[in-house]
Every structure is written in structure tokens, then in C-alpha cells.
Amino acid sequence: MIKNNTLEVIKKHNLKLTKTLGQNFLNDDSVVKRIVSAAEIDGRTLVLEVGPGIGSMTKEMASIAAGVVAVEIDKHLIAALNDNLSEFSNIAIINSDIMKVDIEAIINEYKEKYNADRVKVVANLPYYITTPIIMKFLEEVKGIDGMVFMVQKEVAQRMVSKPGIKDYGALSVAVQFYSNPQIMFDVPPHCFIPQPEVHSTVIKLDILDEPPVKVNKELYFKLVKASFGQRRKTLVNGLANAGIFNKSKEQIKHILDSMGLNENVRGEVLSVEKFGELSNLMEQK
């Protein structure tokens, strides 16, 4: 295993960590090793790493993978990254915002360059932008075989939550529509420099070949959003007030009844599949 040198690099390059970018660098070799193991990387894998920081995990992955593409938004870290990763010839560093780059183009370019036949995404995500980044990968990017993210513990719990549980919501449905999420392990604050105020969790998303339901995606997710928009409202009221499907309350009640659901049911009890059934019925004239 590559030895962690986070403190050494921070001091050498006189780095000032930026709170607004959510910078907390992993400083625990055992955690790095467990994350890389969870990602199931081998010599045929291209790794796309989001937010490599100073490259502590990048080095560990590059020692195993066909190649690593590290996308780092903070220009002040690029010199430290280049220095810290200089011994490797299979790492590409891109100084850009992952929300603005053409991810598929990057994947295609470096899969060919590094002769890789599968792609994994690994990231220690800034907590303030966790959900947009994850949803961008799930909704917009094809050709990814699996993803491993370190996120705030509460976010991970929402992603894996099941119907009827307090944490179950629109994020749970969206993540489980595209993937099979699995919590791997928790990471306490003392494993980072500086220490965050919250606990972190490593979560693995195995991408599904096909969603568990066939639906009009745009309408499906509008329905899901409306169903959880005001959690105290019944599904009937939430959907009627959203005005998405041009259905009256009585029509919605009739549809729910045909599904074996009570008119007072709330969205938090519907599974991904049930939302699919409801969406398809609501779309029908």
C-alpha cells in the first residue's frame, strides 16, 4: 500500500484548505485502502476520481488501475497534485468543475489511452454539492460500471432507505431507480485534515443495466418530487396540487384504489416500482 503523506504535502506546498469548497483531506491509510477495495479496481479499470485533493487516494488507485483521471476544481492544489503524483505515468489531472465538464468525452478518451474496458467513479465529495454530483452521474453519464462515494452519513442513509422509513424520500427513489446502493462503512471525523463536524459514510452504487420500471422519466420524477414535496400531505392532495397530470382528486383516488392503495396514503410508503406503476397510470388519458 502507498504510504499516506497528507501532512507532509500540506506543509511542503503551504496549502490553505478552502472551507467553501468543503475540503477535508483523508489522512488514514486504512480508510484509503478500504475505499479502494470497495471500488473493486483492477488492471483493466479506468478510475474517474472527483476531488482528489492532494492525491492520497489517487496514488493508491493508480498503483492498481489501468489509469486514473483526477478532476480537481481548486487550481491551488494542482501544483501539489502534480508533485505528489509525479512518479506515476497513468494519472491525468484535469483542473475543472466536474459539473461543467463533458464526463462521457473524458471517459471515452482515457479508456482508449489507458486501454481500459470498464469505468469506476470514486470520490470524497464536498457535502454542500453531494446530491447534484451524484445525480449528474446517474442521470447523464453512460458507460460507468460502479461508483464509490464518501458522503455525509445522513445522506448515505437517505440513499439506501426503504419505503416507510423516516429517511426515505425523493433522493432514495432516484438513487434506487438507477443503482443498487450499499453502505460499506462509516468514517469518523478524526480521519480527516481538518476534521469535519459530521461523520462520513462510504457508499457503493452498483449501476443497474435497466431501471426496475419502464416509465416516462420526466413525468416519473416530477411525480416523485410532488409526492415528497410536502410530506404531511396525502398523495392525493400532493399530486392534485402539483398540476402535472391534469387529474382531479377523484380521478387520483380511483387510480390509487386500482393499485390497492388507500386514498389517505402518503408518498413515503411507495416503492420505486409502485411509483412507476402510479406514474404510468397517471399518464394514461
As annotated, the binding site includes: 24, 26, 51, 72, 97, 124
Cα torsion through 99, 68, 176, 134, rounded to 10: -20
Q: Is residue 212 within 8 Å of 29, Cβ to Cβ?
A: no
Binding site as annotated, residues for S-adenosyl-L-methionine: 24, 26, 51, 72, 97, 124
Rounded (10°) angle between helices 217-229 and 170-178: 150
3-state secondary structure 86-109: CCCCCEEEEECCCCCCCHHHHHHH
> What 3-state class would DSSP assign to 48?
strand
Give, in order, the Cα–Cα distances in Å from 243 to each of 152, 222, 251: 34, 10, 13
Which residues pair with residue 193 across a beta bridge? Answer: 25
Q: Is residue 172 within 8 Å of 227, Cβ to Cβ?
A: no
Q: Is residue 126 within 8 Å of 51, Cβ to Cβ?
A: yes
